[in-house]
Amino acid sequence: MKKENCFLFLFLDVYCIYLGLIEYIKNNFNQLIMRFSAKISIMPQDALLDPQGKTVENNTSKLGIDNISNIRIGKHVFLEVESDSEEKAKETIKEICEKLLVNQITEKYDFQIFDN
């Protein structure tokens, strides 16, 4: 086979692969994975006492700060989620909060989600 013919076949093979990739991307564009960031706030339930917050509140006067009240101390968690939609990312965040991060008897949570 001549050198020119080999080059032509190689070019055609690469071009067919390129067209196949373009077609694949067109067909699967909605299924691409996206990355979301989440900021989760975990706080004690309003009905429960917050001993840590109460201790800080009681000691503010010792520092000469008298205009502080109702201190509640909680946690912030930041994480990233890979998902094919924002709804599924929210479901994942809710699941990790309820199954792992939050004691729902004593704590409540709220989260914000951001598209990266």
User: Do 104 and 62 have their domain in common?
Assistant: yes
Q: Same domain for 53 and 108?
A: yes
Average pLDDT taken over every residue of the chain: 83
Question: Domain range spanning residue 74?
Answer: 33-115
The pLDDT value recorded for residue 13 is 59
Do 14 and 55 belong together in one domain?
no
As a whole-number percent, the residues of the chain with pLDDT over 90 amount to 64
Whether residues 52 and 19 share a domain: the answer is: no
45 and 101: one domain?
A: yes
Do residue 5 and residue 37 come from a single domain? Answer: no
> Could you tell me the CATH number of the domain that includes residue 61?
3.30.1280.10
Of the pLDDT bands very low, low, confident and very high (cuts 50, 70, 90), residue 12 is very low
Give yes or no: residues 39 and 19 share one domain.
no
Do 70 and 59 lie in one domain? The reply is yes
pLDDT by residue (tens digit) across 34-89? 899 999 999 999 999 999 999 999 999 889 998 988 999 999 999 999 998 999 99
Give yes or no: residues 10 and 56 share one domain. no
Say whether both 22 and 66 belong to one domain.
no
- The full 3-state SS of 7-59, as one line of letters, equals HHHHHHHHHHHHHHHHHHHHHHHHHCCEEEEEEEEEEECCCCCCHHHHHHHHH
Which DSSP category does 116 fall into? -
Mean pLDDT over 99-109 rounds to 96
Co-location of 59 and 103 in the same domain: yes
Q: What single-letter DSSP state applies at residue 114?
A: E
Q: Is the pLDDT of residue 97 over 80?
A: yes
* Tally of domains in the chain: 2
